[in-house]
Structure formats: C-alpha cells, structure tokens
Amino acid sequence: MIYQDISGLFQTGKEHVGLHKIDLERSILQVSRVSEKLRENIVQNAYPFLTSVQETEDIKRLLPVLKRFSENLETIIVLGTGGSSLGGQTVTALRDGGVGFHFSKPSLYFLENIDPFTLNLLINHVDLEKTGLLVISKSGTTSETLAQVLTCEKLWAQKNLSPFFIKNTLVVTEAKSSPLRRFAQYLGILCLDHDPKVGGRFSVFSLVGLIPLMCANLDPLKLRRGGYQVLEKFLTKSITESTPALGAAALYALMMERGITQTVLMPYVDRLAPFGLWFRQLWAESLGKDGIGQTPIRAMGTVDQHSQLQLYLDGPKDKVFTLLGLEGKTAFEDKALLSSKDPELDYLDEMSLGSLLKAEEHATFQSLLQKGCPVRRLSFNRLDEEVLGELFMHFMLETLLMGTLLKIDPLTQPAVEEIKRLTKVYLTEAKKVK
C-alpha cells in the first residue's frame, strides 16, 4: 500500500513557500465539491480507463492470444509513441530495471522515435525471424507509428522474411477503418481493438499496458488489483483518506496561492525511472491548456542529486517535490554490506547500497525542507505489480482532480493535433518541390 506524507508541504519557517493550514482546508472543500461529480461519473462508467481495473474477463481472453504471439520470440519491438509506449515501458521496468537493460527474454524494445539511425541499429542486431512487432496506435493514423511499420515491412521483405513479419506482428488500434487497420487487414495481421474511450496517456490498465506487461511475464491481475484499491478508497472514503484527493488539494493550493509552476517527481527506485516519464506526459498533456499548466519534471534519486539538486535547493522557489521511495525491509534487502578499512569511510561500514539510498532520500527531503521548498513523500514497503497499479491510479485521479479544479478538460490535447496537421502540410509541400 502506498503511504503519503504531506507534512513537508506546509510552511515551517519564513523562507518556506509552502501551505498554511487554512490554504489546505479551503482547497479540501473545493476538492470535495468536484469529487462528488467525478465519483458519480466514475460509477456510471464514464471513465472506462479507471473502472477497467475491476475487469478480469478481458485478461483471460488475452492469455491465449499472447501465448501464441510471444512464445517463440526472442525480441519484441513495440512500435508506438507517447501514451502508446510509456505505460508499457513503465510496467516492464519491474522486470528490466528501468535503466535500459534488455537481459530477459523476450527482450522488449520500445522504439518511440523515427530516427533512421536508431531503427537500423536495432534491426541489424536482432534475429528478425524471432522478432515480434507490437504496433500500437489508438487512432490508427499516427504518422510516426505508420512510418515505422511501413519501414519494417520493407526491411523484412528485403530479407525475404515477409511471412515472419505477418506472423509475428500484433496490432492494437480502434475498431474502425484507419490506415493502420487497413494495412493490417490487407496483410492478414492480427488486430486487437483499442477501446475508443481510453486515451493514450490513460491507457496503462488497458491492452496497451497489459500486453507488454504480460509479454514480460508479469501479473496483470495484480496491477489492476492495486489500481482498484486506490479507486475504491476514492469512491468510498473521505477526501483526506484518499491519497490522490488529498494530494490534489495540496498541489492545487500550492499552484494557485504560492505560484508553484513546476512539479518534480523524484523516485529513489531505478525501476520507477520510466514511471517519471509516464507521469510527465500525464501531467503535461492533461493540464497544459488555455495558458494554464504546471511543468512536470522527472528527476531520479540519487542520480539527480548530482545534476539538478543545486538548482532545486538554491534556485527560484517555483517547484513542489514528490519523492517516491521504498520503506521497510525491502529497501535494504541487499545482503552485501559495505566495508572498507578507511577511517574516512566509517559512515559506510556495515551499511548496504539500499541503506545508503534511503539515507540520501532522507537527506534530500530534509535539505529541501530546510531550504523552504515544499516536499511530499509517497512510500511503499515493496515494489511489485500491485503497488505500481496503486501509483498509476493515484496519479491518474490526482490529474483528473487537478484538471477539474483548474476548469480544464484533462482528456484532450488540442494543440498537438495542430502539429499533426502541419506535419502533413509540410510533407506534402516538400513533395511538390521535389
């Protein structure tokens, strides 16, 4: 279970830019008001990306499909970008560590970009006969994903491996006619339906997150169970007993009354490194609208203590911090205790890497507090699918609540649609010049 400590968000001295008690109380009232409507909508299934955590049937249906798809594969390349990719990256980090290791089979590579150098590097180093492609695009019109899959089709064909391309590809897209859907149908590639009511950045509990998770032999039911626990508490308990409701109240007050324009998420667990990227999209795309918005920053403890903390502590007081960390035995379970014969390293003797990591998190928390920066902590006593599910649900609800408080529709992304249109215009113009 995740535990939230917001004590560090309150003003503790003249320099501290955090909350007064009264700010939070006022904000809690506002959250109460907007929560009523949100709860009602959730119960009436207006947000299937949340309520899907109660389902199990879809997972049962998925099992045989994935067994057939992945059982002979050494490598799976996920083609997709943004919300089609970040959820999958985040869940598979539980197995792979979150720092770019590809040691387990099948290896999962998330090819988000269209840089030809990168694609060639990857294609030239995998065995194409044992490589699967998982192609994800909600609309079926995402240029980058289509360009990736068209390029791959060509590369496979050049090596006379088209039958493997067709057999080893799995497409996830909406059940309507689209370039991706037509492409898959034309070639006879298996297509699964992307729920049209589940937007990319909110899709981690759907097929989009579950397929990579299941390909990595992790447990989808546990992930959903974690999500359900946080959702259920929000639906049935008071605002102060629900971590995302209380969190949203505090963050909203900090933003509106203390001019906090940036929110830093800083996990002290490598496996949560992609979670920071997932959160960054969720917060930025959902809340950055109409001149409003708060810039999400993904930091990593301890790494960014040596890269960003100088600015965080001593620069402008425009940030709120959320530290994520393991607590209790699991955090220290590494048995290799440190030892040196060096008197200057006495402080490390008999400690482990895990305990040093905790001490650094503690030191960062205290330093932020002392320097007057608002900081909260989310902690958990293990990190598995269930806790990850809780974290996903926590931040999705917090984002929805913030959006409602800010009077922004958190489910759209109008400005990005314009870029997509412009890209097509430039490409068409470029072709005319040719």
420 in active site: yes
The footprint of a copy of itself on residues 16-75 (CB under 8 A) is none
Structure tokens at 154: 């060509």
Q: How many chain residues touch a copy of itself (CB under 8 A)?
A: 124
102 in active site: no
Tell me which amino acid residue 145 is. Answer: T
Residue 343: is the preceding peptide bond cis (ω within 30°)? Answer: no
How many whole angstroms from its chain centre is CA 205? 11
The footprint of a copy of itself on residues 300-329 (CB under 8 A) is 300, 302-303, 305-319
Measured from the CB atom, the residue of 185 and 238 that comes closer to a copy of itself is 185
Residue 21 burial (C-beta neighbours within 10 Å; 0-12, 13-18, 19+):
exposed
* Residue in 21, 64, 160, 414 binding a copy of itself, rule: CB under 8 A: 414
In the bound complex, what is the minimum distance in angstroms from residue 82's beta carbon to a copy of itself?
A: 3
H-helix or E-strand containing 387?
helix 385-405
Measured from the CB atom, the residue of 84 and 243 that comes closer to a copy of itself is 84
Structure tokens at 100: 């770019």
Residue 98: closest CA among 363, 221, 278: 278
Among candidate residues 306, 335, 431, 434, the one labeled active-site is: 306
In the bound complex, what is the minimum distance in angstroms from residue 44's beta carbon to a copy of itself?
A: 27
Task: Mark 139-178 with x for binding to a copy of itself (rule: CB under 8 A) and - for no binding.
Answer: --xxxx-xxx-xx--xx----------------------x
Measured from the CB atom, the residue of 234 and 268 that comes closer to a copy of itself is 268
H-helix or E-strand containing 364?
helix 353-370
Task: Mark 328-347 with x for binding to a copy of itself (rule: CB under 8 A) and - for no binding.
Answer: -----xx-x-xxxxx-xxxx
* Residue in 360, 382, 384, 411 binding a copy of itself, rule: CB under 8 A: 360
Beta strands (DSSP E) in 241-385 are 262-267, 295-298, 319-326, 375-380
Task: Mark 266-305 with x for binding to a copy of itself (rule: CB under 8 A) and - for no binding.
Answer: --xxxx-----x--xx--xx-xxxxxxx-x-x--x-xx-x
233 in active site: no
In the bound complex, what is the minimum distance in angstroms from residue 157's beta carbon to a copy of itself?
A: 10
* Residue in 22, 29, 63, 427 binding a copy of itself, rule: CB under 8 A: 427
How many whole angstroms from its chain centre is CA 250? 22
Structure tokens at 153: 């089709």
* Residue in 59, 62, 122, 256 binding a copy of itself, rule: CB under 8 A: 122
In the bound complex, what is the minimum distance in angstroms from residue 33's beta carbon to a copy of itself?
A: 25
CB 296 within 8 A of CB 287: no
227 belongs to the binding site for a copy of itself (CB under 8 A): no
Choices 23-31, 67-75, 137-145, 218-226 (CB under 8 A): range interacting with a copy of itself: 137-145
CB 109 within 8 A of CB 78: yes
The footprint of a copy of itself on residues 97-116 (CB under 8 A) is 97-103, 112-116
CB 86 within 8 A of CB 271: no
Q: What phi and psi values does residue 168 have, to the nearest 5 degrees?
A: -100, 15
3-class DSSP state of 107: strand
CB 313 within 8 A of CB 264: no
Catalytic residues: 285, 306, 420
